[in-house]
Structure 1
Amino acid sequence: MAYKGYLVDMDGTIYLGSKPIPAGKRFVDTLQEKGLPFLFVTNNTTKSPETVQKRLADEFNIQVGTDLIYTASLATIDYMKDDDKGDKVYVIGEAGLIDLILEAGFEWDENNPDYVVVGLDSQVTYEKFTIATLAVQKGATFIGTNSDKNLPNERGLVPGAGALISLLETATQTEPIYVGKPEAVIMEKALDRIGLTKDEVLMVGDNYETDIRSGINNGIDTLLVLSGFTPKEAVPSLPVAPTYVLDSLDEWDIDK
């Protein structure tokens, strides 16, 4: 079927770490040429939409507006605003998460926050985990931005936000509320942004556990591209098959 719009992962789909995936750029170029709506939906919380926009332009020659970039940071903010349990927060994460949360009106509180949010933090310390652990033990709502245990980059599969969140989950004996892919929160908000329904869009990504599960779990067709996280040899044993599996996005016929 011909889809009216696309939800598209970035890392492992459009680029791999700092390396471009040429078929990914060609795919985006085709969407733009045909005027088809699309939205980048990413679990990466380390960068703001403005930083992602600049990186896409400078490193990969992909020109998009910030309104086409929906990160797990934005989904986390949307979740906390809907949840409305308070405005005090402690965050383990980088600027792309912390700055956006504070700009959205939340206040930093290390002693009695309403929320503890954990995302990827390449400078994480034992002290940060200690503050977060004590806050959750006092009753703060524990939010994990996304469950990615690993991230694909040019060095291999490095630790992701899910690995850090698992440490805090062990320390607190408390399960986090996950917001990013494959959870419903980020997908429902992404559909709101693109202005289409579940049956009108295709979720495109390289990671079965996040990208493809986000479609399967939420009633959205999926395209698994074997350019990043999930290897080809894993496909036959996947518990629920993606709607489509391709070696390269060059193989996808947008008009079909």
Structure 2
Amino acid sequence: MKGFLIDLDGTLYRGHEPIPHAAAFIQWLHQHKLKYLLVTNNSSRTPEQVAEHLQELGIEVPAAAVYTSSQAAAQYLTEQRGGNRVHMVGEAGLRIALEASGFALSDGTTPDYVVQGIDRSFSYEKLTEAVRHLKHGATYVLTNPDRMLPSDGGLMPGAGSLAASITAASGVEPVVIGKPSPIIMAYAIERLGLPAADVWVIGDNVHTDIRGGRLAGCRTALVLTGVATADNVQEQLASAGLTPDLVCDDLQHFIELFNGMDS
């Protein structure tokens, strides 16, 4: 039995456009009863919202097959048992994941944690409040380190860019949850219920997907449909200092190479 941890943006879709062969790849997984989980650093949406977005693109995936950095952050805090008061800098996906795990959002008192993800209404006031809590001893948890995010209009600052300002002002380094952190990878592998050696990590980003897979002891496949492309792949690999097990034009190419290895 093999399992698959699959990235979303740049691997299955780009913004509001499905990537060719993405729907067929998911169908292939279902047809062969292969275990998989869609693992995303995006903290802004719930699994249900992600599944709905995929369905709109013609990709049929149940919400239970989606695992977000917000869910992983909530799981991490639960395991720490360091208190349940959270000051959140983020959006609905993060808030819902925290509340579903029993955490109380701070009402102005000093929280046990500052948990930060993408926040497209980030402001100087939010920066100040987060820094003050960290200066008073709150633990800093970051959903994901992505400095830039793809969008329909081009790249935009990600959660990692906001974290850079909070860290610079507070002097506090965060615990990073999302890829390439071993934290989210370990949780995702546990959900599959398979040894890491039997799991493939598939994604378009060498620095997050492939590095995360390698650190977790998984096999890795880079698809050239997002951050990595046929034009820049050698530059991407050199900058990361990593070599994935497979480099694929797209997900259909992965199936062909995977079937060839299996035979």
Fold match by TM threshold 0.5: yes
Match of 1:147 in 2: 145
Structure 2 counterpart of 1:107, from 89, 104, 113: 104
- The answer to whether structure 1 residue 246 and structure 2 residue 254 are counterparts is no
TM-score for both structures, normalised by structure 1: 0.95
Q: Is the CA contact (8 Å cut-off) linking 2:116 and 2:143 kept in structure 1? A: yes
Query: Offset at 1:26?
Result: 2.0
- Map of 2:12 onto structure 1: 14
Instruction: Provide the rounded CA distance (Å) in 2 between the counterparts of 1:115 and 1:236.
Output: 36
Tell me the equivalent position of 2:235. Answer: 234
Matching residue's letter, 2:112: D
Partner of 1:31: 29
Deviations 1:31-61 (A, max 9, x none): 1121111100100110001111111112x11
SS in 2 for 1:217: helix
C-alpha distance in structure 2 between counterparts of 1:196 and 1:142, whole Å: 31
The separation in 2 between residues aligned to 1:243 and 1:169, in whole angstroms, is 35
SS in 2 for 1:22: coil
Secondary structure of 2:131's aligned partner: helix
Structure 2 SS opposite 1:148:
coil
Letter in 2 for 1:227: T
C-alpha separation in 1, matches of 2:99 and 2:114: 13
Q: Which amino acid aligns with 2:59?
A: I
Would the alpha carbon gap of residues 104 and 214 (structure 1) be closer, same or farther in structure 2, given more than 3 Å must change? same
Equivalent position SS for 2:21 = helix
Counterpart CA distance in 2 for 1:123 and 1:197 is 40
Moved more, 233-242 or 9-18: 233-242
The amino acid of 2:65's aligned partner reads: L
* Displacement of 1:216: 1.3
- Seq. identity, %: 39
Alignment of 1:119-130 (within 5 A): 119-130=117-128
From 181, 185, 188, the equivalent of 1:187 is 185
Inter-CA distance 102–160: structure 2 relative to 1 (3 Å threshold): same
* Unpaired runs of at least 5, structure 2: none
What's the secondary structure of 1:30's corresponding residue? helix
For these two proteins, the number of residue pairs brought into alignment is 253
The Cα shift of 1:23 comes to 2.2
On the 8 A contact 1:91/1:98 being kept in 2, the answer is yes
Alignment partner, residue 70 of structure 1: 67
CA distances 1:103-126 after superposition (whole Å, capped 9, x unpaired) = 221111133000001100111111
The residue type equivalent to 1:83 in the other structure is Q
1:247 CA displacement? 1.9
Change (3 A) 1:236 1:174: closer
- Structure 1 distance, partners of 2:237, 2:8, is 24
- The change in CA–CA distance for 1:186 and 1:236 in structure 2 (over 3 A counts) is closer
Letter in 1 for 2:243: A
2:175 aligns with one of 174, 177, 185: 177
Deviations 1:55-74 (A, max 9, x none): 1112x112222211010001
Tell me how far apart the structure 2 counterparts of residues 156 and 248 of structure 1 sit (CA, whole Å). 21
Contact 2:206 2:242 in 1 (8 A): no
Alpha-carbon distance in structure 2 between the residues aligned to 1:197 and 1:152 = 32
Letter of the 1:204 counterpart: I
What corresponds to 1:43 in structure 2? 41
Aligned AA for 2:169?
Answer: A
TM-score where L is the length of structure 2: 0.92
